A and B are shown apart, each in its own frame.
Chain A
C-alpha cells in the first residue's frame, strides 16, 4: 500500500468536514507511527463516518420474548432502516476482513497453520478429560484455587462466593464471552457487588445496558454519536463532543479510580495451557493485566474447551488469532497468568455450560475448536448488514448460528436460517471449523425435530410433492407462456411474495425450455429429433 493510499481516508474526511478537528491533530501519536506512516494495528482504523446527515437513533437488537424463537430477520430489517449505522458497520467489518487477508497472505504457511491449529484443537478435545486433569493438577501445584462449574449459574455462584469470602465490594473485569454466556453481570446486579467492565467497547455496552454485538469489537454497531450520548448520560461527558479521543480519554479518567479501588479482578481466557496450568489472555488495551495485577484477588473464568496441551502450541495459535481477528500480527498484550503474586489469591473457574454435551454431537462438536477471533463475523455478508444484536444471543454471526442452538434449541431455532451458506466463514476460520456445513446440518436437525415454522415446512412438503411428479409439476407451472404467473410459488415456494418487496420480478419468457425443446427437438411421437440440429 502506498503512502498516499494510507492517508486518503483521513484526508477525505478532513476535506468533507466529517470528523472532529481534534482527531486530525498532526502530532497525534495514535494516528501516525514514529516514522510518520499511518498506523493500522490493534482494531484498525477505517474511514470515519459522515456526520452531515441528521443523527440517527441507534437501532436496537432482537426482541427477546422468553424462549420464543428469535426473529432475526425483523431485527435486521430495523438495522437496515438505519443506513448510517448499517453502512458504518459494514465498512468497518469489511475493513477488518481485508486487513485479515493482507496479514494471512503475508504468511506462506498460513493454510498449514490453520490445519495444525485445527488438529491441535481436535486432539485436545478428543482427550479433554486428560488435559483438564493435567491443567488442574498444575494449577493447584502453582498455588491456584481451582473450581468446577457445571453451568453458567454455578459459575456465577462460585465467583460470587469467592468475592463474598473476601468481603469484596467491587470487581473489575476484562472482556470475556464466557461471562456473557453465563449472564454474570445480570446475576451480579442483585448482589450489591459492583462489576466494572474495563474493555472500552465492553464498558460502552455495559453503560448502555446492552450485550456485546461482536466477540472482538463489542460496540462496533454504535457510532461515535451513540457513544457520546451514552457517556454524557452515564459519565457526564460533553454531549456535543463526539470526538473518539475525547470519549476514550474520558472513559480512561473515569475508570482508572475504579480500577485502583477494586477489591477483585476477573479475566476470561483465550488459551489454558495444560502442561503449565497457565491462563493466557490476548488483549489490546492492557485491561486484563490491570484486572489481574492490581487487586489482591484475581479470578480467571475458563471455558473447558480453551485447553491446549503445551506452551509451544501458542506459537501456532498466536500467529493466527490476531491476524484473523484484526489483521495485526499479535495483540498489544499477550499475558500469561500462572501463579498468584505474593500475598494475593488466584482462582480459576473451569466452566462446562453445555460443552461436554456438545462434545457428543457428531456433527457439531468441532465448533468447540473456536478461538473467538470473530473473523467469521467480519466476513459474513448477513452479519455485516444485520448487526450482532439482531441475533438475540451471546454469540452472533456464523459461529453463533451453530453454537446458540446447543444452548436453547427452540429460542435459537431460527438462527441457522439467517445465512446464505456462502461458505466464506469456513474459509477464514483459523481453526478450520466447517461453519457453513454445520449451518446446513443444523437446518436438517431443526426440521426433523419440528423446530421450523409449520408454514415453512408445509411449503417444502408441497414443493417436494409437486417436484417429484413431472406431470403435476408441468401442470402447476402452467402453459408455456404463463410461467411467470406462478413464479412466486414455483421459484421460491412462497405464498407471501416477499420477493417483490425489495426486487423487481423477472420478465416472462415466451416459453419454457421444456416447451421449446418439445417444439424444436422432439418428434410428434415424443422421440428425439435426430436431424437438422447441428
Chain B
C-alpha cells in the first residue's frame, strides 16, 4: 500500500515532531510512505475566507503532489475536511476526485482502514482531555457530536483506549469549539481568545494534565491561550501518543 504523507503547513513549521510521529507510526504498520517534497498547503485559509479563486492554484498543486497514491494520510481533521469537502475551486477531473476520495485523516485511517487493534509500544501514564477539532468531529465524523440523538461513538477515544496507562477525563462542554476557526482567530481575536480561555479552563477543571487532539491548529491556539491566562496544561498530538511518546 503506497501512502502519500501530507504534513499540513502549521505542522511542518511549528510541530515537526507530529509529522515525524505520523510518518514513523505509518511505517510501524509496514506501509510504504512517501512525502511529496513539493507540498505546501490544502488551500483552507483561502476557501475559509471565501476566496475560492485565490485557492485554485494551491489546490491544483495539492492534487499534483498527491495523485497516484493508494491513500493520502494527514495528521489533521481540518485539512482533510478541506480536501474532501471543499477542494472545489478547480475543475473536478477524475484525478481530482480520486485524490479527494483517497485522502484520510490519521485517526480514521488507523481506525477504519487499517483497523488497528493495538499499539503495543504506546504508553501514556497521564490524565488527558480529548479535544475534537470541529471539522474532524462534524465534518468527517470522528465521533458522535453531543447534539445528535444517535448512538455514541468516538474513533479517537477508541484508539486512545488502547494506550497503556492513559486516563481520559471529559470537560463539561465536551465538544464546544475552542475558537481557533482558522482565519477567525485573527479577524475576530477577542472572541477567539475568550473561547480559548474557556476551553482550556474547562479541560483544567476536568483534571486534565494534557490536552490531546488530532489537530495541531486548535492546540496551537489553546496553548497560546493557556499560557496567557496561566492554566498549567500540556498539549500533545494524538499521533505522538500512538507512536509511543510518553510525555
Nearest CB of A to B80, in Å: 15
A residues 468-501 touching B (CB-CB < 8 Å)? 468, 470, 473, 477, 483-484, 487, 490-494, 496, 498-499, 501
Q: What's the interface size class on B, roughly?
A: 35 or more
Quick one: given A420-B184, A467-B41, are A512 and B145 in contact (CB under 8 Å)?
A: no
Q: Is residue B179 contacting chain A, with contact meaning CB distance below 8 A? A: yes
Counting residue pairs across A and B whose Cβ atoms lie within 8 Å, the total is 248
Contact B138 A513 (CB under 8 A): no
Quick one: given A417-B184, A512-B12, are A379 and B148 in contact (CB under 8 Å)?
A: no
Partner of B191, one of A110, A382, A473, A528: A382
Contact A491 B13 (CB under 8 A): yes
Partner of A517, one of B35, B134, B176: B35
Quick one: given A101-B147, A423-B138, are A498 and B181 in contact (CB under 8 Å)?
A: no
- Chain B, 76-113, contact with A by CB distance < 8 Å: what is the 0/1 string? 00000000001000000000000000000000000000
Q: Is residue A207 contacting chain B, with contact meaning CB distance below 8 A? A: no
B residues 44-94 touching A (CB-CB < 8 Å)? 45-58, 60-61, 86
Q: What's the interface size class on A, roughly?
A: 35 or more
Cα-based distance from A492 to B192 in the complex (angstroms): 13
Cα-based distance from A484 to B18 in the complex (angstroms): 17
Chain B residue contacts of A253, Cβ below 8 A: none
Chain B residue contacts of A516, Cβ below 8 A: 16, 19-20
Contact B228 A503 (CB under 8 A): yes
Partner of B181, one of A420, A464, A505, A506: A420
Name the residue of chain B whose CB is nearest to the CB of A447: B50
Q: Is residue B15 contacting chain A, with contact meaning CB distance below 8 A? A: yes
Partner of B145, one of A108, A427, A457: A427
Contact A428 B40 (CB under 8 A): no
Chain B residue contacts of A496, Cβ below 8 A: 186
Nearest CB of B to A315, in Å: 19
Name the residue of chain B whose CB is nearest to the CB of A77: B190
Chain B residue contacts of A417, Cβ below 8 A: 49, 184, 187-188
Contact B191 A460 (CB under 8 A): no
Which of A188-196, A278-286, A438-446 lies at the interface?
A438-446
Name the residue of chain B whose CB is nearest to the CB of A460: B51
Quick one: given A418-B188, A427-B147, are A464 and B46 in contact (CB under 8 Å)?
A: yes
Contact A512 B16 (CB under 8 A): yes
Chain B residue contacts of A504, Cβ below 8 A: 223-225, 227-228
Contact A379 B147 (CB under 8 A): yes
Contact A444 B224 (CB under 8 A): no
- Chain A, 75-118, contact with B by CB distance < 8 Å: what is the 0/1 string? 01100100000100010001000000100110110110000000
Name the residue of chain B whose CB is nearest to the CB of A466: B40
Which of B3-11, B120-128, B156-164 lies at the interface?
B3-11
- Chain A, 425-465, contact with B by CB distance < 8 Å: what is the 0/1 string? 01110000000100010111111100010001100110111
Q: Is residue B146 contacting chain A, with contact meaning CB distance below 8 A? A: yes
Cα-based distance from A107 to B150 in the complex (angstroms): 11
Contact A506 B41 (CB under 8 A): no
Cα-based distance from A386 to B193 in the complex (angstroms): 12
Chain A residue contacts of B193, Cβ below 8 A: 501-503
Name the residue of chain A whose CB is nearest to the CB of B49: A460
Cα-based distance from A505 to B27 in the complex (angstroms): 32
Cα-based distance from A323 to B46 in the complex (angstroms): 38
Interface centre among B15, B19, B194, B195 (most CB of A within 10 A): B194
B residues 14-34 touching A (CB-CB < 8 Å)? 14-20, 23, 27, 34
Contact A111 B54 (CB under 8 A): no
Contact B224 A499 (CB under 8 A): yes
Contact B54 A463 (CB under 8 A): yes
Q: Is residue A65 contacting chain B, with contact meaning CB distance below 8 A? A: no
Contact B57 A499 (CB under 8 A): no
Partner of A498, one of B11, B57, B189: B189
A residues 357-398 touching B (CB-CB < 8 Å)? 379, 381-382, 385-386
Cα-based distance from A491 to B9 in the complex (angstroms): 8
Name the residue of chain B whose CB is nearest to the CB of A86: B194
Nearest CB of B to A349, in Å: 36
Partner of B183, one of A108, A442, A492, A522: A492
Contact B50 A76 (CB under 8 A): no
Contact A491 B10 (CB under 8 A): yes
Quick one: given A446-B50, A502-B225, A509-B15, are A464 and B57 in contact (CB under 8 Å)?
A: yes
* Interface set of B (CB-CB < 8 Å, partner A): 7, 9-20, 23, 27, 34-35, 37-41, 43, 45-58, 60-61, 86, 134-135, 137-139, 145-150, 173, 175-177, 179-196, 198, 220-221, 223-225, 227-228
Q: Which 7 A-B pairs have the closest CB atoms?
A: A502-B193, A420-B181, A503-B224, A443-B50, A468-B57, A447-B50, A513-B19
